[in-house]
């Protein structure tokens, strides 16, 4: 007999999984993991998943540390009779290396998609970095839902920022900046960025004087080194604007990125796709609505 869906949180995802389970009125458990003395991973599911739809909840910031345990948990669920094994990854890793920029490079977005597709029945994620891959279906062979957080970001900006000017720091951010601005009836501008290295970006700002009096709000999908937002923030302040509010979907903030960026911004907020002190926008209702949809046979 089927007993409804069962969420398993991978370590570090307990709080998000509980919020999601609350939305779904589903059971939630935490996958037991530890390292053997040789550094290999031990994984145990604390309850039997036979006959259940299983959702493994694991955001994929720092994926190399997490992915093997996730695969072992998914295989265990399937071997123990789960009816369906899904991956709920609010942040989906390895989407930015979407072509061979230099000879000999690995196109990790394709390799990672193959690994996930061979392990899970369905992927649910939020705002994956779709640029040269126009849809997850270009690389994922399983059902892969790319949910959009723009309405939630727009709602937060509309409620918290007076006279916002929505600024996308590069051409890829047009998809978020345009959608958010249209939703709250605000002006938006998209800047031009050239990346010279992991922590080295150059951004051209147009003449902004016609928007004086507005509060700039930088929106981007990912803050990683924080350099994109930092360079854009400095440029705005140089043009006489107040320090911008930054709104990001995925607060990765590697190394000293957050400390470096904070003094340049009026406020930084993020969704809870990746746990971080800036989390202010909850994604569980959005993901729960997608999971509540009809499950494949
Ligand atoms: C890439 O173009 C993304 O949209 C982000 O702008 C980028 O990943 C941010 O990276 P960083 O924080 O390292 O500048």
pLDDT at 132 over 80: yes
What is the C-alpha separation between 265 and 246, in angstroms, rounded? 7
Annotated catalytic, 192? no
| Alpha helix positions (H), 1-107 | 14-24, 63-79
Q: How far apart are CA 63 and CA 54, in angstroms?
A: 20
19, 193, 250, 276: the active-site residue: 193
Q: Is the predicted pLDDT of residue 85 greater than 70, yes or no?
A: yes
Exposed/middle/buried for 178, CB within 10 Å: 0-12, 13-18, 19+? middle
232: nearest Cα among 158, 182, 171: 171
Nearest residue (by CA) to ligand 1, atom 10, is 224
pTM assigned to the model: 0.95
Minimum CA distance residue for ligand 1 atom 14: 228
pLDDT digits (tens, 9 = 90+) for 138-177: 999 999 999 999 999 999 999 999 999 999 999 999 999 9
Tell me what pLDDT residue 207 has: 86
Are residues 30 and 61 in contact, defined by beta-carbon separation less than 8 angstroms? Answer: no
> To test the ligand 1 pocket, which listed residue (224, 225, 257) has its Cβ within 8 A of the most ligand atoms?
224
Predicted confidence (pLDDT) at residue 297 exceeds the cutoff of 60? no
- Note the pLDDT tens digit of each residue in 24-78: 999 999 999 999 999 999 999 999 999 999 999 999 999 999 999 999 999 999 9
Tell me, what's the pLDDT at 296? Answer: 45
Is any ligand 1 atom within 6 A of the Cβ of residue 170? yes
* Between 295 and 46, the higher pLDDT residue: 46
Instruction: For residue 127, report the phi and psi dihedrals to the nearest 5 degrees.
Output: 40, 60
Q: Give per-residue pLDDT as tens, 185-217.
A: 999 999 999 999 999 999 999 888 899 999 999
294: confidence class by pLDDT, cuts 50, 70, 90: low
How far CA 275 is from CA of 17, 36, 148, 208, 282, in Å, comes to 12, 27, 18, 34, 11
Q: Does residue 271 line the site of ligand 1, with CB under 6 A? A: no
Ligand 1 nearest atom to the CA of residue 169, by list position = 6
Is there a contact between 248 and 270 (Cβ–Cβ < 8 Å)? yes
The closest residue, in CA terms, to atom 7 on ligand 1 is 222
Q: Exposure of 79 by Cβ count < 10 A (0-12 exposed, 13-18 middle, 19+ buried)?
A: exposed
Ligand 1: does its nearest atom lie under 6 Å from the Cβ of 227?
A: yes
**Residue 172 beta carbon below 6 angstroms from any ligand 1 atom:** yes
């Amino acid at each position: 007999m089927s007993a409804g869906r069962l969420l398993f949180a991978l370590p570090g995802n307990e709080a998000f999984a509980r919020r999601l389970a609350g939305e779904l009125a589903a059971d939630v458990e935490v996958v037991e993991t530890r390292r053997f003395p040789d550094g290999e991973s031990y994984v145990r599911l604390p309850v039997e998943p036979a006959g259940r739809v299983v959702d493994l909840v694991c955001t994929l910031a720092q994926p190399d540390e997490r992915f093997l345990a996730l695969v072992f948990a998914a295989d265990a669920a399937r071997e123990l009779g789960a009816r369906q094994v899904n991956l709920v990854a609010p942040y989906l890793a390895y989407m930015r290396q979407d072509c061979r920029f230099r000879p000999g490079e690995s196109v990790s977005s394709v390799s990672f998609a193959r690994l996930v597709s061979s392990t899970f029945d369905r992927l649910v994620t939020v705002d994956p970095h779709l640029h040269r891959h126009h849809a997850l279906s270009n690389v994922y062979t399983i059902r892969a839902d790319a949910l959009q957080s723009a309405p939630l970001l727009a709602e937060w900006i509309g409620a918290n920022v007076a006279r916002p000017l929505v600024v996308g720091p590069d051409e890829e951010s047009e998809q978020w900046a345009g959608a958010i601005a249209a939703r709250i009836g605000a002006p938006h501008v998209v800047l031009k960025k050239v990346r010279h290295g992991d922590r080295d970006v150059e951004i051209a700002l147009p003449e902004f004087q016609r928007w004086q009096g507005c509060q700039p709000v930088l929106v981007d999908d990912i803050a990683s080194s924080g350099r994109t937002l930092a360079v854009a923030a400095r440029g705005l302040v140089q043009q006489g604007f107040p320090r911008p509010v930054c709104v990001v979907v995925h607060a990765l903030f590697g190394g000293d990125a957050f400390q470096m960026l904070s003094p340049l911004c009026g406020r930084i907020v993020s969704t809870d796709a990746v746990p971080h002190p800036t989390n202010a926008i909850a994604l569980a209702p959005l993901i729960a609505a997608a999971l509540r949809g009809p499950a494949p046979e």
